[in-house]
Amino acid sequence: MDKMPNWADVILIPLISVLLALIASGLVVLYIGESPLEAMLVMIRGAFGSAYGWGYTLYYTTNFIFTGLAVAVAFHARMFNIGGEGQATLGGLGVALVLLLVPWPHWSVALLMAVLAGALLGAAWAAIPAYLQAKRGSHIVITTIMFNYIAAALLVYLLVNVFRVEGSMTPETARFAEVVHLPNAADFAGFFGFRASTPLNVSFFIALLACLAVWIMIWRTRLGYAIRAYGHSEKAGVYAGINPTTIIMVSMLISGGLAGMMAVNVVMGEAERLVLEFVEGAGFVGIAVALMGRSHPVGVILAALLFGALYQGGAELQFEMPAISREMVVVIQALVILFTGALDNMVRMPMERFFLALRRRGRAADTPAE
C-alpha cells in the first residue's frame, strides 16, 4: 500500500519544498532590509512583463531544459551526473568546430550538424566517468566534478592558444559565418514584439523536442524500462538480465549528450562564437531543475521556466533594487536544491503521517457502528 496518493508525491511535496525555499529566500531579502514581496514583484515583472523579458526568460529556460533533462536521465539510472558543466563546455567545442571548419549552405543543415556535434562531444566527455563507474567502480560524482575542472582548463587552453583570432587579445574564436546565424524570436515570432536583439532562438524548439524524446525513451521504450528498473533496484535489474555496464554507459551518454546540446543555444544561437565560461553554471542549475521537476520532462520544463524567470528576474532586480546583488539568484537556487533534494524527507515524513492519519480516520468512519 502506498503511504500517500501519487498526486501528493508528484505535485504537493515539490510545491511545499519550493515554497519553503522561497520563504527562506524571503527571509534573506528581509535581512538585507528590502521587502521580499516587492522584490518578487520586480522579478516577476522583469521576467514576464515584456517581450524583452520573455526573450531572456525563455532563452535561459532553453539552457536549463537541456541541463535539467541531462541530470534527470542520469537520475533514472540512479547516477548523479554533476558534470553537466564540463559536458556542456565540450559540447560548445563541438558546435564551434563544426561551424568554423565547414562552410554550411544553410543554417538548418548547420543546426542539425551542430546539435549532433554538441551531443557527441558532450557524450564523449561523460563516457570516461561512466566507463570508470561501470568497470572500475570509481564514484561518478567525484569523477564528473574532476572532469568539470579539466574541461574548463582545456577550454581556456584551446581559446588562448589555438582558436584565438590572430591579433586579438580576447580568448574567443572568430565569429561564425552570417549564413549559420540562427533565426531568433524576432524572425519567427516577431508579432509578439520580440526585437532583433533577443537571445531567444530556434534552439528553444529543439529543447522541447528533446523533452518529448526523453519522455518517449524513458516511459515508452524497452531501454527506458531497463534504465528505470536498474535505477529502482540494481539487484533486481541484474536478476532480470539487465547489464549494469550497458545501462550506466547508455544513460550517461544520453545525459552528456543532452548537456552538450545546451551549447547550441548559447554558442550558436546567442554568442555566435565560442567564448570563455559560456556555460555560466547552467550545468549546476540542471541539478535543481531535475530535482524540482521530479526527473519528468514536463516537470523539467516547468522547473526550467521557473529558473529561467529567476535568472532574468534576478538581472532586473539588480537594476531596480541595487541593495540586492545578482547572487541572490544563486541563494534561491541553493535553497531549492536544499529543500527539494537534501531535505526532501523533512517535508515527506510529516506528509506521509498526515495522509496515513487521514486514511485511518476515513476507514474508522466507514466501519458501521455496532
Partner 1 sequence: MDFMTVLQLLDSTIRLATPLLLACLAGLYSERAGIFDIGLEGKMLAAAFMSAAVAFTSGSVWIGLLAGIGASMALSALHGLASITFRGNQLISGVAINFLAAGLTVVISQTWFNQGGRTPALTGPARFENIDWPGAAALRDSYRAARAEDPDTLDLTGIYWELISGHSILVYVAFLLVPLTWWLLFRTRFGLRLRAVGENPGAVDTAGVSVVGLRYAAVMICGVLCGIAGAYLATGLTAGFVKDMSAGRGFIALAALIFAKWRPWYALYACLLFGLLDAIGNRFQNIELLGIAVPVQFMQALPYILTVVILAGFIGKAVPPKAGGEPYVKER
Amino acid at 101: L
How many residues touch partner 1 under the rule CB under 8 A: the total is: 51
**Does residue 287 interact with partner 1 by CB under 8 A?**
yes
- Which residues lie closer than 8 Å to 61 by C-beta, 6 or more apart? 204, 207, 301, 304, 305, 307, 308, 309
Among 334, 352, 355, 359, binds partner 1 (CB under 8 A): 334
Among 80, 188, 225, 355, binds partner 1 (CB under 8 A): 80
Residue 52 burial (CB count, 10 A): 16
Q: How far is the CB of 348 from partner 1 (least distance, A)?
A: 9
Binding mask 240-269 for partner 1 (x = CB under 8 A): ------------------------------
Binding mask 40-79 for partner 1 (x = CB under 8 A): ----------------------------------------
124-154 burial, b if ≥16 CB within 10 A, otherwise e?
Answer: bbbebbbbbbbeeeeebeebbbebbebbbeb
Among 291, 301, 305, 351, binds partner 1 (CB under 8 A): 291
Distance CA 306, CA 300 (A): 10
**Does residue 139 interact with partner 1 by CB under 8 A?**
yes
CB nearer partner 1, residue 145 or residue 174 = 145
Q: What are phi and psi of 201, to 5 degrees?
A: -140, -175
Q: How far is the CB of 363 from partner 1 (least distance, A)?
A: 24
Residue 272 Ramachandran class (φ > 0 left, ψ -120 to 50 alpha, else beta)? left
CA atoms within 13 A on the CB side of 2: 7
Contact between 65 and 206 under an 8 Å Cβ cutoff? The reply is: no
Please give the residue ranges that form the binding site for partner 1 (CB under 8 A).
28, 31-33, 80, 82, 128-129, 132, 136-139, 141-143, 145-147, 149-150, 153-154, 156-157, 160-161, 284, 287, 291, 323-325, 327-335, 337-338, 341-346, 349
